[in-house]
Every structure is written in C-alpha cells, then in structure tokens.
Amino acid sequence: MCGIIGYVGERPVSDVLLKGLKRLEYRGYDSSGVAMFHGGKIEVHKAAGKITEIEPLLADRKQKGLEGGIGHTRWATHGAPNTKNAHPHKVGDIVLVHNGIIENYREIQKLVHSKGLTPKSETDSELFAFLVHFEMTEEKCSFVEAVRKSFLKITGASSVVAMHEQHPGLIVGVRNGSPLVAAWNPELGAMLASDAQPLLDYANTVHYLENGDMIVCERNKIEFIDAHSGLKISRPGVKIDWSADRLDKNGYPHYMLKEIHEQSRTILDTLNANFAASGAHLPFDFAPHPGIDNLSRTDRLSIVACGTSWHASLLGKYWLEKFAGLSVEAELASEFRYRSPVLKKNQVLMGVSQSGETADTLAVIQDVNKREIPTMCITNVKGSTIARESKSALYTYAGPEIGVASTKAFTGQMLMLLLLAGKLGRDVAVNDSTGKAMGEIERTYRELFEVPHHLSNALMEGSPTAKAVKAAALATQNSKGFFFIGRGYSFPIALEGALKLKEIAYVHAEGYAAGELKHGPIAMLEPDFTVIVLAPHDMWYEKTVSNLQEVKARGARIIAIGHADDKQIPQMCDHFIPMPIKTKKDDGTPTMSEALNPFLLAPILQLFSYEIATMKGTDVDQPRNLAKSVTVE
C-alpha cells in the first residue's frame, strides 16, 4: 500500500524523490520520508503527515542525485503513523524503505533483542535493516549479497529498497508480492518505484520486477538478479502508453472531479480502442482474445473483486446473464479465497481490479491457476501483477486514476463487462431464429456510442443535472444517514453510490436492493434520514416507485434520480435529479436501452458525493485511512 521511490542520476535528487512521492501519495499518506547523501553521509528526513511536511526540510538540498536517494510515503500497518515509524529506517550504515508486511517479524525482533539491540521504531520494516546489518557485520557479506540473503529470511508480501552509507551511487531493490518497477535512460540515470506513474515523467519504457527478483541500480545501468540463485536475469521493458500530463489536475480543484468529468472521454477511448482493434464488422466485435475464446466455450463464470470493482462485477453479472445467458457469480475476493468454492474444470475465473495489485484478488487468481481453470482479468494497469498472473488480460482505457475513490476506472470496468456480455450475447443471438435478442443487442450497441454525449450533458457545470445534484447535496448534507436504493441494474450502482459517500465524505450510507428495504432497514427511516432512489424508466420502474412510496410514508427525505421527462416521481420526492435523457425520443422510440442507465447514474452519484465532501471540507483525493492500491490483506 505504501509508495517507494529510489533514484540515482543527474537530476537533483530531492526534486526527483519529492515529485515521485507526490505521484505515489495516493498509495498511502500518513507519513513520509527521504534519505539521501549529503557531505558523504546519508541524511534521513521524515515527518508525520503528507509529503508537503518534508518538503521544507529539503529546501537547501539540491545537489545532483549521483550518490542516490530513496523515499517513502506510508500507509501504516505495524506501528502508529508518526515520525518515528515513518520510513526510511537506518540501522548502522544501512538505510531502507519497505512496502508490505514482514510476517515473521516476531522471530526477527527476538533475534535483534537477543543481541542486546533495540529498534527505534515499532515497524516490521526496520527489522529488515537489522538483518542486512547482521549479514554484513557478522557474515562479512557484501551489501548486495546481504540484502539478498536477508530477503530470503523474511516471509510475507514485501518490497524493499535500500542504500548503504559506504556505497554511494548504489541502490538495491527486492520484490516479493508488493510491486516494484524500474526505468533507466542515459540522461536520467536509474529509478525504481512502487508503480510506473512516477517513472513516466522520465521514461516510457519500464521493467517490472517479478516476485523473487532483485535489482541493482547505478547511474549507468540497472541489473536484475534472481534472489534465490543470485544469478543475473533479464526483465524486458514494457512500453507504457499513459503520458505524464494525464497525471495532472488540469485546472480542476481535485483529481476526483477531473476524473469524474473525464468519463465521457474514457468511455469513448475504451470503445474506440476495442473496436479499432477488431475492425468492428458486427456489434460488440472484439479482436481475437484467448480469454474471450474461453468464455465462448463455457456456460459458467466466477468473477472476483473488491470494493468498487466488486460493484462493477455485480453489474457484469446482470448483463452477462441477460445478454449472454452465462451463469455468473460475482464474489468478494477476500471471502472467495478462504471458502471452498466449487469450480468446474470448463469454467472461467475472472479478476476485476483497477490497480491490478489488490492482494485478495491476486491471491484468488494464483490459487485458481494451480487448479488449471482458465483465469483472466479486467484491469486498468498494463504490466500490473494481476495482468501478468492471469492467463489473459483485458484492459480498460481509463488512464491513470489518482483520486483514491474510484470513478472513471469503475465506468471503464462496467463498460468492458458490458462489451463482453454484448459480444457473447451476439454470438448466441446470431443463431436465434426470432431475431429479437439480436435486435436488442444491436440497439444497445448503437446507443452505447451516444452515452459519452449524454454524460457530458449531465456533468457540464450549470446543466439541469449538475444543478439538481448540488441543490440536493446542499439540502441533505447534514442528514443522519443515507440509504441508496435501486433495483436491477441500479442495485450495484446503489451500493457504489453509498460506498463513494462513505469514502470521501465520511457519512454513514448504505446501499440496498430497493426490495430489501422492508426486510429490516426501513426501521431506520425518520425525517432526518435521506433515501436516494435510483428510478430510471426501466423494467423495474413501477416496483421502485412503490418502494419510494414506502419511504415517503415513513417521512424520510427523498432524492430521486430518473429520466428528465418523468412526470410521476418529481411529485413524490423532495429533490429530483434528472438524467439528461427523456424516456422517448420525439419520434416515440425509446431514447436509451435500460442496460445503459448505469453509465449515467454512477457519475451522477459520484458528483453527489463529491459535492457533499467538498461542503464538509474533507480531503477528497486522499480520504482518511484509505489507500488506493490495497496490496495487503
């Protein structure tokens, strides 16, 4: 979850480290620190809080980075988030930063105490520095060899990046589980980090370390070593097609708002990328893909994911069942991995993950790989661990998502799942003699290309939708609690709407299937409570309206979201948020297939949470206690 960076090269080391840490801050941000050479010694600067806290400490440290430096932004696991526990940790001449968890830390702690030594921090990370120190002082190992041997003594998913005071210009990294990526170019020198984003400012080809890899970085080269054998290995470069300018806010006050607005473009990018690759001769065409071939041959799919990605998966289940007749389970990876799931040999297992690094999702894929069941994934990050561990990968084209709360990556995942459902459904429908199913698939496909336009209309500042969102947020910001309810395709969106509000506004919110309300949660309703009813004109509309009436009868405040020309609901609720589409076009044909409503509802709810969060003054992009990439269980 933490962010690690290391640099050795021509540029001012403090600038490179600070800029890189800011790019990584979304991974964790409770404390931070850097270590760099100054006057022949390694100085460590660290502080509780965000990167801005250490910036002033480095104001007069602008020398070239030829002797190297490392940095860290932390999401606390062992030990409170304070300066003492912040990384880097220094023991003797060794200084290091760590991401992950050392599971056998008690054993190492005992060893350290048995030698009459006391760690300065409460972290498991500092203990690794002791191990390296012992290897060098007692076993007379070289620095690189000491890091290698120490690495073989720890268990759990970890990455470590280390320097030694007597070896300026040398940085050593090791990876097991927690990601580590390196780049080198003649002008820049060598750099490594927890993900590719900070490297994109300097290079567009990166090298991913595999589990059990070591890297030795010097100004003029990087070398990869198999940590188990100590032998040199090669790790080919991967070209990254995100440019660094996509990592900036582009004038928006927050990344999250920028990313909400970017969705029209990212949806179009994903559509275009897929259909350009396929030639799009038929609706929902895909370029040949082994994962899709496997799906075509099976009638059963298990999807695993966490958080927002699980909500997208749940929606995928609805689409895949309806369009493709596939039997789909959408499961929380953290539960699935410790159950005894019954999997069939001919089925497919799919992981859905924005980051491609989520520990639980990754663990399921690795377990299922051992059972010889085809695995695949949908992810936003090329070269990520989940992409590499899955037997095949499909990519969303959301670009880098910096706000911790997922927005555009969610719509990207939804879109990819819908495209899959459409493609598999089309293949079945082609043989359907009635042509009915094919008609719906063709229509959904056509209207999909209109979604970005509708979405821009919804989100545009001053639009009826955006104005209604703001007014509803203003009026309900101090509610005692929020329920989000919906049926069918709107149910996973209700779950996601509630998660967004909790994440960024720290407000109590729950998502429910609207039909579930009367089975318990309705007891909570009172005038101080707000219920957000997702009521687009779809096959569940009348039932949702009945649920809305039940809420109204209990006196709760109601925000309803529906089609712009809905006559009924605006009369029944306190605040009506119009989707920017009518139920029917002027010629009487329906405006948009109901399967596409989630692409408007989700961003509207994202905007609602954003408005409430900014009214409350929370840290929208880096909400408390969260990290974007959850690489520990």
Residue 533 lies near ligand M6R (rule: CB under 6 A)? no
Stretch that binds ligand M6R, among 201-209, 303-311, 555-563, 571-579 (CB under 6 A): 303-311
Amino acid at 224: F
The minimum distance between CB 409 and ligand M6R, in angstroms, equals 7
Rounded Cα distance between 43 and 69, Å, is 9
98 vs 500 by CB, closer to ligand M6R: 500
Rounded Cα distance between 418 and 320, Å, is 7
Which tokens sit at 379? 């992810």
Out of 25, 135, 218, 503, point to the residue binding ligand M6R (CB under 6 A).
503
Is 573 a catalytic site residue?
no
Beta-ladder partners of 89: 96
215 vs 632 by CB, closer to ligand M6R: 632
The minimum distance between CB 79 and ligand M6R, in angstroms, equals 23
Amino acid at 186: P
Closest Cα partner for 194 from 398, 392, 381, 410?
381
Distances in Å between the alpha carbon of 238 and those of 94, 206, 505, 585, 619? Answer: 31, 5, 38, 47, 34
CB count, 10 Å around CB of 184?
A: 26
Residue 307 lies near ligand M6R (rule: CB under 6 A)? yes
Rounded Cα distance between 248 and 350, Å, is 32
The minimum distance between CB 370 and ligand M6R, in angstroms, equals 21
Residue 309 lies near ligand M6R (rule: CB under 6 A)? yes
The minimum distance between CB 507 and ligand M6R, in angstroms, equals 15
**Residues in binding contact with ligand M6R, number by CB under 6 A:** 15
Secondary structure element (H or E) that encloses residue 533, with its range? strand 529-534
172 vs 362 by CB, closer to ligand M6R: 362
Residue 404 lies near ligand M6R (rule: CB under 6 A)? yes
Residue 121 lies near ligand M6R (rule: CB under 6 A)? no
* Number of residues assigned to the chain: 633
The minimum distance between CB 608 and ligand M6R, in angstroms, equals 15
The minimum distance between CB 419 and ligand M6R, in angstroms, equals 18
Closest Cα partner for 42 from 171, 164, 169?
164
Q: Please name the residue that has the structure tokens 């429908």.
A: 429
Catalytic residue among 2, 217, 306, 573: 2
The minimum distance between CB 252 and ligand M6R, in angstroms, equals 18
Rounded Cα distance between 90 and 312, Å, is 43
Closest Cα partner for 266 from 405, 376, 407, 461?
407
Residue 390 lies near ligand M6R (rule: CB under 6 A)? no
Residue nearest to ligand M6R (CB): 307
Residue 270 lies near ligand M6R (rule: CB under 6 A)? no
Rounded Cα distance between 496 and 484, Å, is 9
- Restricting to residues 600-629, which ones interact with ligand M6R according to CB under 6 A? 626
6 vs 400 by CB, closer to ligand M6R: 400
47 vs 394 by CB, closer to ligand M6R: 394
**Binding marks (x or -) toward ligand M6R, 442..481, rule CB under 6 A?**
----------------------------------------
The minimum distance between CB 585 and ligand M6R, in angstroms, equals 35
Task: Kindly tell me the sign of the dihedral angle through the C-alpha atoms of 11, 14, 20, 23.
Answer: negative
Is 217 a catalytic site residue?
no
Rounded Cα distance between 245 and 266, Å, is 15
Asked if residue 198 lies in contact with residue 20, where contact means CB atoms within 8 angstroms, the answer is: yes
Q: What are phi and psi of 208, to 5 degrees?
A: -90, 130
Out of 308, 591, 609, 631, point to the residue binding ligand M6R (CB under 6 A).
308
Residue 361 lies near ligand M6R (rule: CB under 6 A)? yes
Stretch that binds ligand M6R, among 116-124, 178-186, 306-314, 559-567 (CB under 6 A): 306-314
150 vs 375 by CB, closer to ligand M6R: 375
Residue 274 lies near ligand M6R (rule: CB under 6 A)? no
Rg (CA), the chain: 26
Residue 99 lies near ligand M6R (rule: CB under 6 A)? no
Secondary structure element (H or E) that encloses residue 260, with its range? helix 255-261
Residue 405 lies near ligand M6R (rule: CB under 6 A)? yes
123 vs 406 by CB, closer to ligand M6R: 406
Catalytic residue among 317, 408, 500, 628: 628
Stretch that binds ligand M6R, among 13-21, 76-84, 351-359, 590-598 (CB under 6 A): 351-359
What dihedral angle (degrees, nearest 10) is formed by the CA atoms of 64, 65, 70, 74? 40
Indicate left, alpha or beta for 75 from its phi (over 0: left) and psi (-120 to 50: alpha): beta
Residue 358 lies near ligand M6R (rule: CB under 6 A)? yes
Out of 123, 178, 355, 411, point to the residue binding ligand M6R (CB under 6 A).
355
Distances in Å between the alpha carbon of 170 and those of 10, 85, 89, 144, 198? Answer: 14, 24, 17, 9, 20
Residue 411 lies near ligand M6R (rule: CB under 6 A)? no
Which tokens sit at 318? 């609805």
Residue 630 lies near ligand M6R (rule: CB under 6 A)? yes
The minimum distance between CB 268 and ligand M6R, in angstroms, equals 22
Asked if residue 428 lies in contact with residue 325, where contact means CB atoms within 8 angstroms, the answer is: yes
Rounded Cα distance between 65 and 7, Å, is 7
**Residues in touch with ligand M6R (CB under 6 A):** 306-309, 353-355, 358, 361, 404-406, 503, 626, 630
Q: Which residues are catalytic?
A: 2, 628
